[in-house]
């Protein structure tokens, strides 16, 4: 296993930071393959330098952003990248929002569809009567553009100016033309930022940033995490599902040399292929299953899991799995107001 880990690390070290790897979807006849970044915690631990490289490239390509900006990340594949981008933008006039698979049933809740997904309905809330100069939509890949179009349609009363930031634009010429015509008919200004055509050198973001004004419902005090950190000194953090912001806030506050490995337990069902995915832990006790891929690359000794009420059953099952494998494990449940 150590040899496999070394080979995997060597392979990943030669990839552009915007690289997406192809994986086979399980049980989704609408789309057989998906594309996933190896640097965002689902296949291996989060790569801080790679994400800094992605965001630095995006910042260099984006024009100056006057007025107010909303960064919107799509659940759950683009949440981490949206968070990373938002922390690099000016705090005073930047908001961060995530879509969710869970409805809060608020009066101001909005929704849209991701037709090809295993969980097609997204929900999100924005402050009432809020408008923005521009919105940056972060999506890891564009395959047809239909999902992003649906999101833009749900936001077109908030702004007419959108940037679409993606790691790869895989749309066909026909899909691109249909998208452009539809947006032009609505008098929308759309600028695509396709990072796949750039090969940035990873470099740290210079300022010590914090998440800007996130209209998020999840809260967890740094004190709680600090207490667990001081008590157990975990070498691996696990974010379950959409529960990423609390652990990212704390993880980024630690010195780089002290940061534990950071993994993302995902709702996305992919098959083992022995090329990208070598193992899969299926967490099936909740209403929907969650998956941990390549869990022992590397194998942790002490783990801390952060979950919310929607992923409670999956987190409990993950605690049991890790403990059965000799790993000291604890978990914290984040309070969710909806």
Tens-digit pLDDT profile for the chain (338 aa)?
Answer: 445 545 555 555 556 778 889 999 998 777 788 899 999 999 999 999 889 989 988 998 999 999 999 999 999 889 999 999 999 998 889 999 999 998 887 878 999 988 877 678 999 999 888 899 999 999 999 999 999 999 999 999 999 999 999 999 999 999 999 999 999 999 999 999 999 887 544 444 443 344 444 444 334 457 888 888 988 899 999 999 998 988 998 999 899 889 999 999 999 999 999 999 999 999 998 889 999 999 998 899 999 999 999 999 999 999 999 999 999 999 999 876 65
> Could you say which of 3.40.50, 3.40.630, 3.90.75, 3.40.190 is the CATH number of the domain covering 2-46+217-336?
3.40.50
Q: Do domains 2-46+217-336 and 48-197 have the same CATH topology?
A: yes
Q: Would you call 281 helix, strand, or coil by DSSP?
A: strand
CATH code at 48-197: 3.40.50.2020
pTM of the shown model? 0.89
DSSP state of 3: H
Provide long-range contacts, Cβ within 8 A and 24+ apart, for 182-191.
182/149, 183/149, 183/152, 186/153, 186/156, 187/160, 188/152, 188/156, 188/160, 188/161, 188/162, 189/160, 189/161, 189/162, 190/152, 190/162, 190/163, 190/164, 191/162, 191/163, 191/164
Selection from 61, 112, 114, 108 nearest residue 88 by Cα: 61
- Domains of the chain, residue spans: 2-46+217-336, 48-197
CA distance 238 to 295: 10
């Amino acid at each position: 296993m150590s040899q496999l880990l070394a080979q995997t690390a060597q392979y990943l070290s030669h990839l552009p930071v915007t690289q997406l790897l192809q994986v086979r979807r399980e049980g989704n006849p609408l789309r057989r393959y998906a594309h996933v970044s190896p640097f965002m915690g689902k296949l291996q631990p989060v790569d801080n330098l790679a994400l800094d490289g992605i965001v630095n490239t995006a910042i260099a390509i984006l024009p100056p952003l006057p007025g107010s900006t909303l960064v919107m990340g799509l659940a759950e594949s683009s949440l981490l990248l949206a968070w990373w981008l938002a922390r690099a933008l000016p705090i005073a006039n930047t908001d961060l929002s995530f879509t969710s698979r869970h409805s809060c049933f608020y009066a101001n809740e909005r929704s849209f569809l991701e037709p090809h997904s295993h969980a097609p309905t997204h929900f999100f809330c924005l402050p009432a009567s809020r408008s923005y100069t521009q919105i940056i939509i972060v999506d890891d890949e564009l395959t047809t553009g239909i999902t992003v179009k649906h999101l833009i349609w749900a936001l077109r009363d908030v702004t007419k100016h959108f940037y679409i930031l993606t790691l790869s634009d895989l749309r066909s010429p026909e899909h691109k033309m249909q998208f452009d015509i539809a947006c032009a008919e609505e008098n929308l200004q759309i600028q695509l930022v396709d990072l796949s055509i750039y090969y940035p050198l990873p470099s740290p973001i210079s300022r010590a940033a914090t998440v800007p004004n996130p209209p998020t419902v999840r809260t967890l005090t740094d004190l709680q995490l600090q207490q667990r950190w001081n008590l157990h000194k975990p070498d691996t953090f696990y974010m379950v599902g959409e529960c990423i912001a609390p652990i990212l806030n704390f993880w980024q506050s630690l010195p780089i040399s002290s940061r534990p490995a950071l993994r993302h337990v995902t709702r996305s069902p992919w098959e083992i292929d022995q090329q990208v995915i070598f193992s899969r832990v299926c967490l099936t006790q909740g209403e929907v299953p969650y998956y941990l891929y390549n869990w022992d690359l590397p194998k942790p000794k002490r783990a801390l899991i952060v979950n919310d009420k929607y992923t409670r059953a999956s987190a409990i099952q993950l605690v049991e799995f890790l403990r059965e494998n000799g790993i000291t494990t604890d978990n914290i449940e984040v309070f969710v107001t909806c």
